[in-house]
Amino acid sequence: MALHAPIDLVIFDCDGVLVDSEKLSVAIDQRVLADLGWQLPRDEIIRRFVGRSDAHFRAGIEEHLGLSLPDDWEAPYVQWYLDAFAQDLTAVAGVVDALDSIEKVTCVASSGSHGKIRRNLGLTGLLPRFEGRIFSADDVRDGKPAPDLFLHAAQTMGVPPSRCIVIEDSRFGVQAARGAGMRVLGYAGGLTPASWLAEEGATVFTDMAVLPGLLS
């Protein structure tokens, strides 16, 4: 999937690509898991959960603990995330300038819920750039690493998968993009090691300043 082939749609993941949320989320995930009785190292949380949906996080907890969590199991922890994001969430370094330079049509396709995506984009001032072009794991049956979300985004935007390129920061997201028949750029400026992204077939970059050039 050569990068010089025509691109009509740029699909951005949200967390870790547009908003610098992964380091905040993983730190709180670790606290949540510990409170539930699962002491999991930071690197293992990244390996298991970064790029996956909230439903997958819950399923992983239930499998490890050998029990079913109640529907409101997250209630004691929601404010932990909200407080951290309200205080410390920023846009990924360089992404605003990159977006200003990208002339192609863009959208967001994230494993987060619509509420979470909109909240995080709103906190960082990015929401107006993607209004009406936001897709969530809530919209499809199977989230990343299944290709469903990216295929749904492309179909809704009216662009064939072969003319889409995905900007991802997780190995599950890269797997989903590749499964959808899309080219993928792996942003390794966050938590996921560059080698993980490259092994899944992404063209890796570490500085958002180079993104417009990669897309052109």
Looking at domain 9-20+89-215, what is its CATH homologous superfamily? HAD superfamily/HAD-like (3.40.50.1000)
User: Considering only CA atoms, which of 156, 151, 155 is closest in space to residue 166?
Assistant: 151
What does the H/E/C string look like for 42-59? HHHHHHHHCCCCHHHHHH
pLDDT grade for 107, boundaries at 50, 70 and 90: very high
Q: Which residues contact 128 (CB under 8 A, 6 or more apart)?
A: none
The active-site residue, picked from 13, 20, 138, 169, is: 13
Burial class (CB in 10 A: 0-12, 13-18, 19+), 19: buried
Tokens of 92: 């990924």
Active-site hit among 8, 15, 43, 169: 15
Assess whether 15 carries a catalytic annotation: yes
Q: Which fold has domain 22-87?
A: DNA polymerase; domain 1 (1.10.150)
Domain boundaries, the chain: 9-20+89-215, 22-87
Is 83 a known active-site residue? no
Q: What would the pLDDT profile of 22-67 be if each residue is shown by its tens digit? A: 999 999 999 999 999 999 999 999 999 998 888 989 999 999 999 9
For the segment 69-89, what is each residue's pLDDT rounded down to a tens digit?
999 999 999 999 999 999 999
| pLDDT single digits (tens) 113-128 | 999 999 999 999 999 9
Q: Which of 116, 115, 108 is nearest to 133 (CA)?
A: 108
What's the pTM value of the predicted model, to 2 decimals? Answer: 0.90
